[in-house]
Structure 1
Amino acid sequence: MQPEDNQVPLLSNHDVAYDSGDKVHVVGINEPDDEGSLGAVPPFSWKKLWLFTGPGFLMSIAFLDPGNLEGDLQAGAIAGYSLLWLLMWATAMGLLVQLLAARLGVATGKHLAELCSEEYPTWTRMVLWVMAELALIGADIQEVIGSAIAIKILSNGALPLWGGVLITACDCFVFLFLENYGVRKLEAFFAVLIATMAVSFAWMFGEAKPSGTELLLGILVPKLSSKTIKQAVGVVGCIIMPHNVFLHSALVQSREIDRNKKARVQEAINYYSIESAAALLISFIINLFVTTVFAKAFYNTEIASGIGLVNAGQYLEEKYGGGLIPILYIWAIGLLAAGQSSTITGTYAGQFIMGGFLKLRLKKWLRALITRTCAIIPTIVFALIFDTSESALDVLNEWLNVLQSIQIPFALIPLLCLVSKEQIMGAFRIGNVLKTVAWLVTGLVIVINGYLLLDFFKSEVTGLMFTSIVSAFTGAYLAFIIYLVSRGRHIKSRD
């Protein structure tokens, strides 16, 4: 049944992401008026923008997690200012993907995991769920270890890495505590953490005093050399996080929207687009601070290639000394804020992924506990094994990056297939131009990550048996991607 031109498809009224009582009431959004009835989008309102502000900033935290910070510092130390232009365009590509995720959630009233569960066969749904969970666990391990490194620094080494992991594990209880006080309180908490990152890394930026001219040239003039290919791939690869696509499509449902009125849905999409763009602009600036600090301090030095998340603070301390507040602790505070905020949003994403794919209706505390346990147990094991070895942690981080890169098509392809279908989106399906651009961006991201995977496995895969296993996995992996693309042509809404 085709939806009327001024409506979006009517879906189930059962709220999965948020109960009706948990949603934020946006003043005037659901009240009947001539503009809404006639299909005209109401004029811009700063008050409404403020009420819609929140989901985009929670989403932006995935652009600031410890994995991204490590990519930033390595890009700065090895490539100097030359990859700043790529950081800017990678953030723009990430914004496009996140806007599509938000559009899907607003127009349908359901999030990506739930729609995948409804639109794909059971076996496909289960494979997508496993892939999403693996991506989330990989990201969570990096985030928890990043927090643990920061705690170890701030405790002057008194707390070992595994101790920091246990402390970070408790953040799900902070999340549950804040969630009980409402969505806006939770969003305010994350705003404080983002502000902490901004102040910390801006302080470091001020201490380092990087060249303004070189910074501007790095942003405006594209430059790439064979020596910086790996860092360039890392900059692009860590921007789009699979679990973040699922998360954003659910977060936008935290506001009350009358989906029977096209004007109200369009209004919500407009406001979410503005706040998401603002949030990612701030994340870009924070990433820029980190990249330029390490570019100024370590570019063209002998130690540049050996700097990672574990030893970055110590190298900064040796370079810039103490000061009013030692830069080592400034770095640790920013890293802790990044790690804590990203682990909590990871817990949030895990609830939506599990509930959507498996159609589970568990209590919030139980879903949070299950999601947290999936990441904490392997993280503690890794922390115990790698606590005394910086090089081993770097190897672990490379494997985790590969794990997440593998999962990217399994979030982006379903998203693009669903958001392009009139049966799913009604009047809000994306047009041919935007669809072409989105598929080109998706293809580019997949190719870039494919290069990362090829380069990694070329150096790591040895022996006939291991090579045969990887080859078989690669064949199955490519076949599933082809299946998802072809299956997307036949997706139909279910009444």
Structure 2
Amino acid sequence: MSSYLIDSDSDDYYVATIGQNRNHMALTGENSTGESDDGRCHSSSSLIPPEEEHVVAQSYRTSDEYETSWKHILKAPLRAIQHQPENIQVEVPETAVDVKFSFRKLWAFTGPGFLMCIAYLDPGNIESDLQQGAIAGYNLLWVLLWATFLGFCLQSLSARLGSVTGKNLAEHCREEFSFAPRITLWLLIELAIIGSDIQEVIGSATAMRLLSSNFIPIWVGVLITGLDTFTFLFLEMYNLRNLEAFFGFLVTTMAVTFWYMYFSIWPQPDEVAKGVLIPGCNNCTSEAGSQALGIVGAVIMPHNLYLHSALVLSRNIDRSNKATVKEANMYYAIESAGALIISFFINLAVVAVFAEAFFGENDATLSKAGDMIDDRFGKFMSIIWGIGILASGQSSTMTGTYAGQFVMEGFLDIRWPRWKRVLLTRTIAMLPTLMLALFALTSLEVVSSWLNVLQSILLPFAILPVIAFTSKRSIMDTFVSPVPLRLIFGFLSIGLVGINFALIYISVKETDLPLGVLILLSIIAVFYILFIIYISFGYIIIGRVNAAQSRRAVNG
């Protein structure tokens, strides 16, 4: 396993290949090597630390003939992916002991939160926002606010789990659960990733069609989006901070485009404030109630908790020092709060624009929104909208790919080269999307609505493990969640399960299903509840019973 450190104040890579002699070939140019006064080998592209036990650092030369050949130039991107470094880390600067807060340190920790917040801005969320505004006006902005706050609490728990233990949520699931429940949970989270990916890829393809004046069909946009998610591999290869900066640029693009529309249309400020601050829904229809329940599933993505617990591992902190870990948790919480505040105001802008301009148009969807804006405000405004949706779709598909890697690697302990993991996770997620774009294009609105319901149904399988693990002293040590916090999250989890059953009831009630299907759904609901009980605390009870039986067998 290789580990890499990136100095947060420079672009130099400190490379050490640990446990094995790994061949990292130079892509272009001849690296000149030498030795500094402290004995550290160095080259023009990297600084290699002093040799330690089981550490081998090498540099490789290539001939001028090979370097200038056209085959070498064409194959350079493929070699870059194949030999991409693993476990790239950002070095955190040291500060004086008496310094309680440092903006320089906060900057070093800034990055994971902005990758995390993109799941709150994916095309599924944007569609939920515009439907919320068109159906309920400003009335449900308070639901969006509190759903985002709940998301912050859960993301903070996820970040703490990774920061304290040095392992992501999927890895803890592999260690804590037995084989059958572990595989079941992995399949459910993969299903959540596929569901969100369908919305993200279709959203990105919809933006391409809008920006190309219908020249690029949806299925071609799906293929383009599926291929360009490999972009993040190249960005991460050169510098992890470049990757984080790229995602920051996409978030900024969404903020600029959607808030440009907000200031151009200028929704009523007093109505926006009332919608955010005063709970309730005056003169709302049953559709508005369903929309309120669906907001939770649209805002908080199950796979995002798994992603965030892995992203925080990119910072190099001394986990043996509890003061350092506590400080890291503080900075991660501040960074996550800032990123989610930005995401909330972006979502608010979309809701307010559609509440002001399209209230009462209950058939508003992401695929129709561009034409609606074009008809009402002109081509330029629809282009602005399309750019924002394209940034949303591109960024979310890349983070979805990232999440798929961490989930598969964590649950199954797969140690493939990164390009193989990306190819597999992309293929798993892309095939259903492509089939939908080719054969069920007219049903995209219905599918998207059901996918939001699916995300809400699968959400407990991310929330409950992270709550359970952060409540175990054997995992978190002194950073274990206090009892009041456990109780609060326990009641929230019960409420969330209740929301899920309400969503299922409303969705089934609106659909005339045969009796056999209803019986099947009832059976699935029973297993759903039993599995929730197992991953919440049942696995602990079963483990204790098995341990007691083993002790009795030994003593007997």
State the TM-score, normalizing by the size of structure 1.
0.90
Q: Does 1:218 align with 2:218?
A: no
Contact 1:237 1:445 in 2 (8 A): no
- The 2-side partners of 1:369 and 1:418 are apart by 31
Contact 1:316 1:327 in 2 (8 A): yes
Alignment of 1:175-186 (within 5 A): 175-186=232-243
Which secondary structure state, in structure 1, belongs to the residue aligned with residue 371 of structure 2? helix
Residue 80 of structure 2 is matched in structure 1 by none
- The 2-side partners of 1:406 and 1:178 are apart by 34
2:292 equivalent among 211, 232, 254: 232
Question: How many angstroms does 1:320 deviate by?
Answer: 1.6
Contact 1:135 1:403 in 2 (8 A): yes
Paired residue type of 1:26: V
- The 1-side partners of 2:505 and 2:455 are apart by 14
Question: How many angstroms does 1:317 deviate by?
Answer: 1.6
Which secondary structure state, in structure 2, belongs to the residue aligned with residue 24 of structure 1? strand
Residue 288 of structure 1 is matched in structure 2 by 348
Q: Which moved more, 1:226-235 or 1:244-253?
A: 226-235
Residue 454 of structure 2 is matched in structure 1 by 403
What is the number of equivalent residue pairs in this alignment?
Answer: 460
Q: Which moved more, 1:394-403 or 1:163-172?
A: 394-403
Paired residue type of 1:352: F
Contact 1:42 1:263 in 2 (8 A): no
Identify if the C-alpha distance between structure 1 residues 20 and 28 changes in structure 2 by more than 3 Å, giving closer, same or farther. Answer: farther
Q: Does 1:380 align with 2:380?
A: no
- The 1-side partners of 2:309 and 2:88 are apart by 17
Q: Does 1:272 align with 2:327?
A: no
1:415 equivalent among 466, 477, 483: 466
Q: Does 1:28 align with 2:94?
A: yes
Residue 112 of structure 1 is matched in structure 2 by 169
Larger Rg: 2
CA deviation digits over 1:151-204, x for unaligned, max 9? 000111111100000000012320111110121111000001000000110111
Residue 504 of structure 2 is matched in structure 1 by 453
CA deviation digits over 1:62-115, x for unaligned, max 9? 000000001100111111111111111110001000000000000000000000
Contact 1:96 1:438 in 2 (8 A): no
Residue 394 of structure 2 is matched in structure 1 by 340
Q: Does 1:308 align with 2:365?
A: yes
Question: How many angstroms does 1:231 deviate by?
Answer: 1.5
Residue 129 of structure 2 is matched in structure 1 by 72
- The 1-side partners of 2:497 and 2:248 are apart by 31
- The 2-side partners of 1:168 and 1:461 are apart by 36
Q: Which moved more, 1:177-186 or 1:147-156?
A: 177-186
Which secondary structure state, in structure 2, belongs to the residue aligned with residue 23 of structure 1? strand
1:367 equivalent among 404, 421, 429: 421
2:405 equivalent among 351, 357, 381: 351
Contact 1:237 1:448 in 2 (8 A): no
CA deviation digits over 1:279-331, x for unaligned, max 9? 000000000000000000011x3xx1010010011111212224xxx111111
Alignment of 1:91-106 (within 5 A): 91-106=148-163
Unaligned runs of 5+ in 1: 1-12, 36-40
- The 2-side partners of 1:49 and 1:72 are apart by 31
- The 2-side partners of 1:182 and 1:88 are apart by 34
Identify if the C-alpha distance between structure 1 residues 488 and 269 changes in structure 2 by more than 3 Å, giving closer, same or farther. Answer: farther
- The 1-side partners of 2:85 and 2:472 are apart by 27
Identify if the C-alpha distance between structure 1 residues 106 and 211 changes in structure 2 by more than 3 Å, giving closer, same or farther. Answer: same
Q: Does 1:146 align with 2:200?
A: no
Question: How many angstroms does 1:489 deviate by?
Answer: 4.0
Contact 1:172 1:369 in 2 (8 A): no
- Higher normalized strand content (fraction of residues): 2
Residue 8 of structure 2 is matched in structure 1 by none
Which secondary structure state, in structure 1, belongs to the residue aligned with residue 90 of structure 2? coil
Q: Does 1:123 align with 2:180?
A: yes
Which secondary structure state, in structure 1, belongs to the residue aligned with residue 230 of structure 2? helix
Contact 1:418 1:488 in 2 (8 A): no
1:484 equivalent among 535, 538, 542: 535
Paired residue type of 1:241: M
Question: How many angstroms does 1:458 deviate by?
Answer: 2.6
- The 2-side partners of 1:58 and 1:237 are apart by 19
Residue 10 of structure 1 is matched in structure 2 by none
Identify if the C-alpha distance between structure 1 residues 20 and 332 changes in structure 2 by more than 3 Å, giving closer, same or farther. Answer: closer
Alignment of 1:145-164 (within 5 A): 145-164=202-221
Unaligned runs of 5+ in 2: 1-17, 20-83, 548-556
Which secondary structure state, in structure 2, belongs to the residue aligned with residue 222 of structure 1? coil
- The 2-side partners of 1:140 and 1:118 are apart by 27
CA deviation digits over 1:127-155, x for unaligned, max 9? 11001100000000110000000000011
- Equivalent pairs: percent with the same residue? 49
Q: Which moved more, 1:417-426 or 1:177-186?
A: 177-186
Question: How many angstroms does 1:19 deviate by?
Answer: 7.3
Q: Which moved more, 1:468-477 or 1:44-53?
A: 468-477
Contact 1:95 1:280 in 2 (8 A): yes
- The 2-side partners of 1:134 and 1:461 are apart by 25
Question: How many angstroms does 1:488 deviate by?
Answer: 5.2
Identify if the C-alpha distance between structure 1 residues 202 and 237 changes in structure 2 by more than 3 Å, giving closer, same or farther. Answer: same
CA deviation digits over 1:393-426, x for unaligned, max 9? 1111122223222211111111111000100000
Paired residue type of 1:230: S
- The 2-side partners of 1:355 and 1:442 are apart by 27
Alignment of 1:56-67 (within 5 A): 56-67=113-124
- The 2-side partners of 1:147 and 1:182 are apart by 26
Q: Which moved more, 1:213-222 or 1:455-464?
A: 455-464
Question: How many angstroms does 1:464 deviate by?
Answer: 2.4
State the TM-score, normalizing by the size of structure 2.
0.80
Residue 483 of structure 2 is matched in structure 1 by 432
Residue 242 of structure 1 is matched in structure 2 by 302
Paired residue type of 2:387: I
Question: How many angstroms does 1:124 deviate by?
Answer: 1.0
Contact 2:294 2:453 in 1 (8 A): no
Alignment of 1:321-332 (within 5 A): 321-322=378-379, 326-332=380-386
Question: How many angstroms does 1:473 deviate by?
Answer: 1.3
Q: Which moved more, 1:283-292 or 1:446-455?
A: 446-455
Paired residue type of 1:347: T
Which secondary structure state, in structure 2, belongs to the residue aligned with residue 330 of structure 1? helix
Which secondary structure state, in structure 1, belongs to the residue aligned with residue 300 of structure 2? coil
Question: How many angstroms does 1:234 deviate by?
Answer: 1.8
Greater RCO, 1 or 2 (C-alpha within 8 Å, sep 6+): 1
- The 2-side partners of 1:48 and 1:425 are apart by 24
- The 2-side partners of 1:219 and 1:399 are apart by 26
Question: How many angstroms does 1:21 deviate by?
Answer: 6.0
Contact 1:149 1:164 in 2 (8 A): yes
Cα root mean square deviation, aligned: 1.9
Question: How many angstroms does 1:461 deviate by?
Answer: 5.4
